[in-house]
Structures are given as C-alpha cells and as structure tokens.
Amino acid sequence: MRYCALASGSNGNCYYVAKDDTAILVDAGINNKHIHLRMSSLGIMPSHIKALFITHEHSDHIQGLSVFAKRYQIPVYITAGTLAGSRLNLPDHLVRIILPQEVVQIGPLTIYGIPKYHDAKEPCSFMISDGKLNIAVLTDLGRVCDNVKTAIKHADVLFLESNYDEEMLDKGRYSYYLKNRIRSGWGHISNAASLQAFLENRSSRLKHLILGHLSGENNRIELVQETFEPHCGDIRLSIANRYEHTAMFEISTAEVHVERLVIVEETEEMQRIVTSERIEIRG
C-alpha cells in the first residue's frame, strides 16, 4: 500500500491511500490548484482516485472537494449530517451517503468508518485496509474514545492528530471561547493526549506513525518531534507540516511478515490474529 498526506494541518487536510491502481482520498481540504500541484509532484494520477471519503464539514476538510469531485466524476462517501452541515455543491449522482460506522469496499480496499467526538454534525474517521495492512487516519479528535483506541490497536500505519501544545494554547492569543472549544472534548487533542493515546494503544504491528493536523498558532514541529521521538523505538516517525505534502510512503505485506518472522515463537499466533481479525467499531 502507498500513502501520504497531501496536506495536514488546521489549514487543510487531504490524505491519500492506494493499493495498485486503486486510490482513495480522505478529505479534500485544500484548493484544487494545490491538490493538482501536490499530486503531480508525487506522481499521483487523478484518474486513479476512485472515491473520496469525507470526515466532516469543517472547511479544512472540504475546501477543494466539490470542484475536484466534479472535475473527475469521483463519488463522495459522506454522512448525511456532514452533507447537511456543509454547503457543498455536489450533483446527486456523485453522493454516496454512509453511516459513520459504515464499511465500504472500493476495489481491493476496505474502508471502515469510525464515529468520533468532534464539534461537527456527524463526523467520523476512517481506517483503510487491504485485508492485511491497516492504515488509520485519525484527526479532529475531541477525545481519545474507545473507537480511537481500537483503531490505533489495529493500525500498521497511523496518521494521528497532535494538534496543540497545552502551554502554547493556554498562553496564546486565542480568545477564551476558542481555547475552550479546542480543549472541550469536542475539538482537538493535544500533543500530550496524542502521545498517551499512542503509548497506551499501539500494538506490535504498528510500523509508521505520522503526526498531523498541527495547529499553526499553538504548536511547533520541533515540539512534536521532541515529544514523540524518545518513545518510537523501531516505529518510523514522520511529522506532516502545514505547508507541503509528505513523502509518498509504501508498506508491503512482505515487509510486515519478515519483521514478524523475527519473533519465531509468536509468528503463527500473530498471523492467526491477523487473519481472524475483526475490527469492532461502535456506532
């Protein structure tokens, strides 16, 4: 599977996941000029994007959606609440209404909807699986609920929000109202909460942690790096910055099996766990 963040931050979000010639985007929250520039710089063909999955109606997640979907006639998987909460100008034939906990198959990819706490009408996160590897995209998390924990436990690749530094938010210039909105349990999670979620829920299958949705006002890349780096061990750590796409990453089953075979005693057991895996997400 290949994956990257075309954009990640409180100024715009767009995540790409692909298997062979089938790709999907989670959110399209940057304008089309930037979507195209970044896709072409990473060698992504828009014609390979088979579906758009939308987490919620905030503009940093849908800004470029209508134009992009219409231009390439790509179906948009979106909850009724998100659609109602947005002023999207989408033709009916491109709209696919989903429940926040829906499971959708797009070619070789299975996309799990994951309901979440966020100050939007009917928000959800998504985990994308090819049946063996799971890539979770978890941003705009009001809190680390059981669904978030479950997704982290099953992730081989984890895009995780690390939105703000508590002290920077506290001392920063945001209004009292906005500060409280962010930390209300319906806004975003801090670097500390994100680290705790990672430490308490990561499993031995996690290979790559990509932190994202950083606040421009209340966070710094170096701070996120310092917070997580000492805890990552063998897990690859990347931090998406607000101004450019990440690299295109790739993870293959072969790589995972080789690494799992290192622990000979556990190999059979772990493969059994992988193949018999059922992801329980609560609606």
Please give the Cα distance from 88 to 54 (Å, whole number).
12
60/156 with CB nearer Zn ion: 60
Spell out the residues 6+ positions from residue 64 whose beta carbon is closer than 8 angstroms to its own.
14, 28, 29, 30, 31, 32, 34, 35
Smallest distance, Å, CB 213 to Zn ion?
A: 6
- Please check whether residue 140 is in contact with residue 117, taking contact to mean a CB–CB distance below 8 angstroms: no
Give CA separation, 279 vs 112, 113, 147, 195, 272, in Å: 9, 11, 10, 23, 14
CB-based burial, 15-46: b 16+ in 10 Å, e otherwise? bbbbbeebbbbbbbbbeeebbeebbeeeebee
Q: Which residue is nearest to Zn ion (CB)?
A: 58
58/154 with CB nearer Zn ion: 58
Interaction residues for Zn ion, span 211-240 (CB under 5 A): none
Long-range contacts of 271-274 (CB under 8 A, 24+ apart): 274/132, 274/205
11/32 with CB nearer Zn ion: 11
Q: What single-letter DSSP state applies at residue 161?
A: E
129/162 with CB nearer Zn ion: 162
Would you give the binding string for Zn ion spanning residues 122-161, x where CB under 5 A is met?
------------------x---------------------
Q: Which residues pair with 237 in a beta bridge?
A: 209
Smallest distance, Å, CB 12 to Zn ion?
A: 8
Stretch that binds Zn ion, among 53-61, 66-74, 92-100, 168-176 (CB under 5 A): 53-61
Smallest distance, Å, CB 97 to Zn ion?
A: 20
Smallest distance, Å, CB 61 to Zn ion?
A: 6
Smallest distance, Å, CB 268 to Zn ion?
A: 42
107/119 with CB nearer Zn ion: 119
- Please check whether residue 107 is in contact with residue 127, taking contact to mean a CB–CB distance below 8 angstroms: no
1/214 with CB nearer Zn ion: 214
Q: Is 6 exposed, middle or buried (0-12, 13-18, 19+ CB in 10 A)?
A: buried
What distance lies between CA 196 and its chain's CA centroid? 18
175/276 with CB nearer Zn ion: 175
Would you give the binding string for Zn ion spanning residues 175-204, x where CB under 5 A is met?
------------------------------
Smallest distance, Å, CB 55 to Zn ion?
A: 8
Please give the Cα distance from 123 to 117 (Å, whole number).
7
Stretch that binds Zn ion, among 51-59, 96-104, 177-185, 243-251 (CB under 5 A): 51-59
Please give the Cα distance from 202 to 157 (Å, whole number).
10
Smallest distance, Å, CB 9 to Zn ion?
A: 8
Phi then psi dihedrals of residue 231, to 5 deg:
-105, 0
Smallest distance, Å, CB 26 to Zn ion?
A: 12
Site for Zn ion contains 60 (CB under 5 A)? yes
Q: Give how many residues touch Zn ion by CB under 5 A.
A: 3
Interacting residues with Zn ion (CB under 5 A): 58, 60, 140
